[in-house]
Structure 1
Amino acid sequence: GGEFTKFTFAEDQTGPTTIKFENIRNTGQDTEFGIMVAPEFGTIALLVLIVSIASVIFVTRKNSFRLQQV
C-alpha cells in the first residue's frame, strides 16, 4: 500500500514528460523518470483511414475490370 495520485493528461499535453517521486516511504529518497505522452487516434482519424483504404480498393478493382475487357 501507499499513496497515489491519479492524473489524466489533457489532449494538448503531449510530448516528453518527467514524473518525479519525492520522499519515498519517508526515506528521503527521490527518483524521477521520463515518459513520452502520445495522442491517441480518434474516431475521425479511423474513419478517414477506412474510407481511404476502401477508395483504393474500389479504384484498383475498377481499373482491373477495364483491362480485362480490352
Structure 2
Amino acid sequence: MPEENNNAFKTYMCLICGFIYDEEAGWPDEGLAPGTRWEDVPVNWVCPECDARKEDFELVEI
C-alpha cells in the first residue's frame, strides 16, 4: 500500500449542492487564498453556491 502524502492538497464537496472546494485553488472571492487548508477555513464560512455550513462538506477524491 503506497504511503499517503499528508501534504497533498485535498478537495471537499458540499453535500447539498455539489460545490467543490479545492485547497490548492482556495476561494479568493470569499477571502480564502490559494493553498488554504480546510482546517484553516473559518467555521462560520458557508458554501458560496447554497449557503450550506462547513460541516455539510465531505472530503472527496477527484
- Higher RCO (CA < 8 A, seq sep 6+): 2
- Output the TM-score relative to the length of structure 1: 0.20
- Output the TM-score relative to the length of structure 2: 0.21
Which structure has more helix as a fraction of its residues?
Answer: 1
Larger radius of gyration: 1
